[in-house]
Amino acid sequence: MEDLIPTRIEGLDQLLGGGIPRGHLVLVCGTPGTMKSTLCYTTMYNNAVHGQKGLYISLEQDGEHLRSSMAKLGMTDNGDNRVYILDLGMIRRELAEREVTKDWTRMLLDVARQAVQEDRYTMLTIDSLEAFYALASLDNPRRELFHLFNEMKELGITVFFISEVPIGSKVLAKNGEDFLADGMIMLQHVEVGETDVQLRLRCVKMRQMDHAPGWFAVHHDGERFLVSQVLSRRRRMVAEPDTPE
């Protein structure tokens, strides 16, 4: 398929079947610290040099903090705003200046529309769904979300919507986000033995793609991501049976 946006993360594009179809809205879910922000930022950062402009809207942490933690992972900005970060403080100041109503659904759509139509952005991350709910205090979250997702899709921009899953929670999407989204990527910490924790990733859903269904190991060496098969002892034994005589 020609209109795929690759993540350019080693191992991830293979499991996705090539990349993410342009214009998809993809949920990236996981408990705190599972590198959701890093994954979305990295994908946009990797694509910026290939002409895809990325906008990161942080409703959660301040932009400087995000920028410095990404810089520590080698994604330095060099002053050219390779990924443009719009944080809550900036949005609040703008809202105050324009004295517009605090309709957060409309605000997000206005920002996305301007980003696409005037500034030629092609990728967007919104961090996070929960922060959006907290700010917006919606009367009818399901209906609002349906409207927000549909309008975003109409714009043709490829969107990562980060979803923070509380530790221990079994509920991934309380307003049907998983049904409305085109794709869903889950990140999870898995305890291995008594002391180790491994980060794993699973593509739960990706419309139009023949993606791998299982869990994969995610590693970040401080410079690059690597997504690879989980090598358990059992699987190795199954994968490499004794060769018959």
Q: Least CB distance from residue 35 to ligand ADP, whole Å?
A: 4
Size of the site for ligand ADP (CB under 6 A): 12
Between 168 and 222, whose beta carbon lies closer to ligand ADP?
A: 222
> Under a CB-based contact definition with an 8 Å cutoff, are residues 92 and 62 in contact?
no
Q: Least CB distance from residue 43 to ligand ADP, whole Å?
A: 12
Alpha carbon distance 128, 163 (integer Å): 6
Residue 184 pairs in a beta bridge with 27, 205
Alpha carbon distance 89, 206 (integer Å): 33
Alpha carbon distance 102, 100 (integer Å): 6
Residues 38-57 that bind ligand ADP (CB under 6 A): 38
Between 7 and 34, whose beta carbon lies closer to ligand ADP?
A: 34
Among 7, 19, 25, 37, binds ligand ADP (CB under 6 A): 37
Residue 60: phi, psi to the nearest 5?
-115, -55
In single-letter form, the type of residue at position 108 comes to: L
Residues 163-222 that bind ligand ADP (CB under 6 A): 220, 222
User: Is 30 near ligand ADP (CB under 6 A)?
Assistant: yes
Residues with Cβ within 8 Å of 96's Cβ and at least 6 positions away in sequence, in order, are none
Please tell me whether the peptide bond between 228 and the residue prior to it is cis, using omega within 30 degrees of 0.
no
Residue 215 pairs in a beta bridge with 202
Question: H-type helices in the chain, by residue range?
Answer: 12-16, 36-48, 63-72, 88-98, 104-117, 129-136, 141-155, 177-180, 233-239
User: Is 33 near ligand ADP (CB under 6 A)?
Assistant: yes
User: Is 37 near Mg ion (CB under 5 A)?
Assistant: yes
User: Is 32 near ligand ADP (CB under 6 A)?
Assistant: yes
Among 36, 53, 202, 205, binds ligand ADP (CB under 6 A): 36
Between 33 and 156, whose beta carbon lies closer to ligand ADP?
A: 33
Q: Least CB distance from residue 109 to ligand ADP, whole Å?
A: 24
User: Is 69 near ligand ADP (CB under 6 A)?
Assistant: yes
For ligand ADP, the binding residues (CB under 6 A) are 30, 32-38, 69, 73, 220, 222
